Structure 1
Amino acid sequence: MKSKFKADLSKEQHLAPLLNLYYQKHLKRYSFQRFVDLEQQLLGIDLILTNKKDGATYFVDEKAQLDYINESLPTFAFELFYSKKGIQKEGWLFDVSKKTHFYALVTSIFSDEKNLFTSCNITFVNREKLIQHLTGLGLHQERFQEIATKHNGHHGKLGLEKLHPWHEGYLFFSTQNKAEQPVNLILKLDYLIAIGVAKRLV
C-alpha cells in the first residue's frame, strides 16, 4: 500500500503544473497558493483561492482520477466511508474536520508517450451546496450510515431510491478489491452541473 501511496503522490506532483496553468488561464480573478504539507492536506486543503477584488478566500481540495489515465469517465466517486484496521472511518465528503469549500475534480487526464500530462478536465464542486442537495433528497450522513450498515459485506453497485442510477448516481461498495474497502457515492458530472452545485472550469 505504501508504494501505491508514493506512486499516487508522485503523479499528483507531476499533475500540479498542468493544473496551475489552467487555474492561471481560467481563474484570472483569483490568485492561488498551493499547499504540499500533509497537515493542510489532511484538512482537505490543497490550495487557497483568493479573490483579487474583495480578498475572499476559498479552500480547494483537488481530487484526481489518477487510476484512469487516458480515459474519460462521466462520473466521480465521493468517499462516504472506508475501513482502517477493521474499523469503519468517515470518508471525506461528510467529514466535519475538513475545511474544504470546493472540490476540484480532475478527470479525463491524458499523457503522452513520455508520461507527461498533456490535458485534463476540471470541474469545481461547491461542497456545501452538494451536501445540502443530498440532504434535501434524504441522503444525509445518517442515512448513508444506515445503508452501509444494512449492506455490510456487499460488493459492487447499489441503487438509491432518490437517484437515477444511469443519469444521476448510485453507491459502490469496494469490499473485495481494495484494502480500505471504501463505500463511495458515484455521481454523474453532468448531473452535478445540471443541479447547480458544480461548474466545469475546463
Structure 2
Amino acid sequence: MSGKLLAGLGNPGTKYLWTRHNAGFMVVDRLAHHANVAITKKAFSGLYGETTCWGERLHLLKPQTFMNLSGRAVSPALHYHKLTLDDLIVIHDDLDIPFGQIKLKKGGGHGGHNGLRSLLQELGSGEFTRIRVGIDRSKFGDTADYVLSPFSKSEMAELSTLLDRIVDAIEMLVSEGLPKAMSIYNNKDLLAG
C-alpha cells in the first residue's frame, strides 16, 4: 500500500491560523480530526502525520516553510515515501472560486498562487491533483492583504460545515477516483441544504 500524500498549504504560526490563505491547513486538520490522527511530527520541513483511511495509507503534511516555499516540504515528503505525482493531492485556497465551493482538478499552472508556483518549481511539473478551496475575491483592497486576513464572521459560522463537506469530497476522491469526485463536487454549493 503506497498511499497518497495530502499536502494542505498555508502559513505557520498563530498569526495566520484562521486566514483565508490557510484553507489548506484547515482541511488537512479537519481530515486528521475525522481520522483521529495528530499532525504533530516534525518532518519534511513541515508537520506530518499518517493514517489509514478509506483503504488507503494517507500521509498528511502541513508545510511549515511559509506558503511561498511550500514545494521545499512537499518534494522531500513525496520522494521519501517513494510516491509519484499521481499520489499527490494538494489542497489550497483559490480566489477565483466563491466561498462554499471547491474545484477538483488534475494538472495546470500556478495561476498566480505562490504556493503552487513553489510546488511547480520543486517538482518540475504541475501534474498532480488539486483541491481548490474557494475563498472569493476581495471586493476592494489589496489581494495580498485579503488572503492573509481572517475569514469574515459569517464565513467562520459556516466553516465547520464546509470543512466537513470537503473531507467528504476527499473520501470520494481517494476511494472512487477523481472523475467521480469532480462530477459530484465541482461547482456545487457545499453549504446548500
Between 1 and 2, higher relative CO (CA 8 Å, sep ≥ 6) is seen in 2
Q: In which range does the TM-score fall when normalised by the shorter chain?
A: 0.3 to 0.5
| TM-score under structure 2 length normalisation | 0.35
Instruction: Name whichever structure is richer in strand by fraction.
Output: 1
